[in-house]
Structure 1
């Protein structure tokens, strides 16, 4: 009888362990997101709060926006958290994601050497890019299909600069993230487009400073999309949606607003903006 009782206890313990493991697995999601949310420190600040408030553990795959959306297209993430509105809308329209939720915004800034050799300082980013090209001033491009890279390409187009097939000493594509682009610009005294959050968190500034800001064309909106569970049954729909619901709730929006570096707010919540 004692032997049977012992086996019964072992069985109960084993079931409890399996149950705890299953619950833990159910509370874990993978989010493919941008290097800016990672490099700025937002996730290091935000994800412990998410876990405390919702019980959800978020594992982040930090990539350029294009790569993050491709990760979602392969079904290798439960949600994507990116910034490139046209690409986000296409992702949903093609059936890879469900609804797109606006979450927050910040802006891009054009960074360059403090002595500003091309003379671009001001509030007109298109005029600044035209001048950089005309004077052959060194410019670092991420060249990685990220949201920042796509914004940069859009701005060059508005400036009437054709980059397709461009082979010029002044324009250098590195195919890397924002931190690497800023490091490259710092070491070579070059101009570079950055999201403001990563710039504020960046330590190796050297002689770089913000030269162009506050142009409405530098606005940068972030969206969050649940990967379509009908297409990929492995998607953790319940936990993924709860993550989205919390980030877009008053509590989640307040947490985003409270993330600051040196007293400066990096991201501005706007989940309730119907035009975002």
Structure 2
């Protein structure tokens, strides 16, 4: 009987120890759709012993999960929303990890002549002017937030658009599928587009405007606001994200010879993290 009790306790300790090395990160659909998570998560487990569980959602939902304390950290790409998250006391600090860019995708025939536009605002103006079908994620994601800011920068308001503007309320992959089916224009992050398999007659038509820069940042959830979060594991994963191995994996991840993300993390911890 004594041996059975000892064995049961040993199993309980082992199970508890296993759970101690699990954490949750809410990440954007673009990070997941790119395929990069399939490269990074096994390496994190190998190097740190931490099993990272991803909740794949748009940036807006990721931030709400962080505010509710339902995850231990978030990895998102909307700086204004990230700063509001920190200002509300929901996160400890913000650390930039990597970047890519947004691109405009559309039918190869390019009826709105987006490919020759001098800048992003002009490209959107041409789409609106011709009322060519345009698919918007419409899901409060970082990509959606960026798209709305670009329309505003072009002095255009999607609230006033007609049926040619289609909000799908879905992630990047589903939105690209819809655009492919409708032969429509869409704004995508470059990584999701390169990893997208159902391109049909769509092509990358416009890129390169500095306003399309797309920064990803890691924000641990505040243990002061949510004492149950695994702040120690969140910090260990953050340190891995800024390591030389992470840099090599992120910069080395390519599809058809094209780099999807560029590592730009600083290895000195943000001042907020040290406080």
TM-score by length of 2: 0.94
- CA shift for structure 1 position 10: 2.2
Among 181, 185, 189, which residue is 1:187 paired with?
Answer: 181
> Over the residues paired in the alignment, what is the CA RMSD in angstroms?
1.5
Answering whether residue 123 of structure 2 is matched by residue 146 of structure 1, we say: no
Among 40, 51, 60, which residue is 2:54 paired with?
Answer: 60
Among 238, 241, 261, which residue is 2:235 paired with?
Answer: 241
- 1:159 maps to what in 2? 154
- CA shift for structure 1 position 75: 0.6
Name stretches of at least 5 consecutive residues in structure 1 with no aligned partner.
Answer: 1-6
Measured against aligned partners, the alpha-carbon deviations of 1:110-145 in whole angstroms (never above 9, x if no partner) come to: 000001011110451110000111111110000001
Measured against aligned partners, the alpha-carbon deviations of 1:234-265 in whole angstroms (never above 9, x if no partner) come to: 20111111011110122222221122222221
Answering whether residue 177 of structure 2 is matched by residue 177 of structure 1, we say: no
CA contact (8 A) 2:25 2:73 kept: yes
- CA shift for structure 1 position 273: 8.7
1:25-36 to structure 2, matched below 5 A, reads: 25-36=19-30
Measured against aligned partners, the alpha-carbon deviations of 1:55-109 in whole angstroms (never above 9, x if no partner) come to: 0001100111001100111110000000000100110111001110100000000
Give the whole-Å Cα distance in 2 for the aligned partners of 1:215 and 1:72.
32
Deviation beyond 4 Å, 4+ runs, structure 1: none
- 2:108 maps to what in 1? 114
Give the whole-Å Cα distance in 1 for the aligned partners of 2:251 and 2:161.
42
- CA shift for structure 1 position 9: 2.5
1:1-276 to structure 2, matched below 5 A, reads: 7-122=1-116, 124-163=119-158, 165-272=159-266
* SS of corresponding position for 1:99: coil
* SS of corresponding position for 1:60: strand
Measured against aligned partners, the alpha-carbon deviations of 1:164-190 in whole angstroms (never above 9, x if no partner) come to: x32502111111110111111111111
CA contact (8 A) 2:39 2:249 kept: no
**Relative to structure 2, which stretch is displaced further, 248-257 or 188-197?**
248-257
**Relative to structure 2, which stretch is displaced further, 151-160 or 250-259?**
250-259
* SS of corresponding position for 2:25: strand
CA contact (8 A) 2:243 2:267 kept: no
Give the whole-Å Cα distance in 2 for the aligned partners of 1:259 and 1:11.
49
- 2:273 maps to what in 1? none
- Relative to 1, partners in 2 of residues 1:212 and 1:205: Cα closer, same or farther, differing over 3 Å? same
CA contact (8 A) 2:121 2:151 kept: yes
- Relative to 1, partners in 2 of residues 1:156 and 1:167: Cα closer, same or farther, differing over 3 Å? closer
What is the number of equivalent residue pairs in this alignment?
Answer: 268
Name stretches of at least 5 consecutive residues in structure 2 with no aligned partner.
Answer: 271-275
TM-score by length of 1: 0.94
